[in-house]
Structure 1
């Protein structure tokens, strides 16, 4: 835990409302972004973000600092997004993980225009597929590839062993590859 984070936590544990305002300002962008990606609905993302910070405030006395504060807040956000999807639709139906225009842009320009075009088309095909992935694969893929989380951070957020995270990533990539190649399997982990 970084010194600034430790100091902020100390102030929060003492009930310092100014420290809580700092926490909200520091993490609201992250929470809104994740909630919007997971729910696909900006209005729902706002509601989820408010509930996240309410739960953070209520649960602060229980937070032991065994993981980074951002990891803990991520976990609360993911749990609330999953719960929101289940209560709103009877099952999880979130579809958007990123703005299509953003994900369609390759990060690096490739050598040939054909490769560039193929990369754009592939990424555009992947957006709806990722949205259809089983929840645990989608969460692991999103955190690893879009948010640059380490295996350990994903393990902490998802509350599963690191080996399970690696399995989710491997199987999630296989799931995507099979669908991109038109080889859908009957098994839906």
Structure 2
């Protein structure tokens, strides 16, 4: 199914427009690793807006200058240090991208200004008239539970047990006993009325 609608920016301050802008601003892992290939100039650090990005081109220029002056071992030492730093950066590109995108999302979402309430708004009016159905049910349930004691049913609980409305629910032991009696009666009925044997 084509997803062209996901790229349709409706503008405004809606969530859809915000998501599109975030996708454009977020850093991509592919670009981060591709820029790392140009680590002598610190391209990956500039892309991810990491500190000390300028150190890579300075060290690269120092290596070229030392090699031009004939200081081979010094140039090799700087080159090894640069490669070690680049390999360490390679292991940090993923976490850097995740942290950058997370901070970007937080800044974008928290920057949205929620419209304030009207000047004369004083909250929801509570007239305490005509309580809602759930409030009445909660009061009835609370009164029923408060009238019970541990291990004893409520005083006004119905005596008849069963599964029909208005009847007390069977306990687990009573349900097990009922199932055992039903299975026993089914077996006795089957024994009294055996199936007719087929005549050959």
With structure 1 as the length reference, what TM-score do the two structures score? 0.21
Task: Kindly indicate which of the two structures has a greater share of residues assigned to helix.
Answer: 1
Larger radius of gyration: 2
With structure 2 as the length reference, what TM-score do the two structures score? 0.20
